[in-house]
Amino acid sequence: MSNQDCGEKGSAGVARAEHTALELFQMASLLVGDQEQALRLVEECVATSDLDPCAAEPGAEDRVRDRLTQSALSWMRERAPESFAVDETPATLGGCVETDDLEAAGISSAKLAEMLSGEQRQKLRNWLDDLPMAQRAVFVLRAVLGRNNEATAEELRRAGGSAGWTADQVSLLFRSALCSLANQLAHAGAATA
């Protein structure tokens, strides 16, 4: 769709729709780890949505983002169902990371933003690729999309995962991922020192 299709007022809507599509692709790509699949998921969600790029409809982008999140999580669960099974007796982390706070793991918001878009983007993606699918989903939902533990557990349950997903299960996986990422950053820093 071009700016001319919407008229002068709609050009901002078209620019916003293009920006939203890019954000959706980046989110899907971080979740599924496969750019071609991420593009397919975005195209499917946008095509089946009622999103009008010429009109600013409150909540429309959030509905598409939620639909995409669910589609990505369902795709991930289909690829690795064992990863999404909830362990009834979770292991402990051995004190590596005591909270769900990125900063407590030595990863500031600025550092994460740099890792998502800067020189370390490929290292972050490689690290994500090494995580089990459910842990990858938890990390992206928590650290990148800003969901809390309960909202993340609900997303996992809605995507057809085990009904046993709880905020505590999400917290454990997220802290384990933070520990892994902090260790990777510490080793990378030691290697460059």
At 44-71, the pLDDT tens digits run 988 887 666 666 666 778 888 999 999 9
Mean pLDDT of 32-41: 94
Q: Are 153 and 166 in contact (CB under 8 A)?
A: yes
pLDDT classification of 3: cutoffs 50, 70, 90: very low
Using a pLDDT cut of 70, give the percent of the chain over it: 77
Residue 179's pLDDT is what?
86
The three-state secondary structure class of 107 is coil
Show the tokens assigned to 68.
């995409």
Please state, in angstroms and as integers, the Cα–Cα distance from residue 86 to each residue in 1, 40, 141, 145, 164, following that order.
Answer: 44, 28, 17, 22, 6
Residue with the bigger pLDDT between 104 and 132: it is: 132
pTM recorded for the entire structure: 0.83
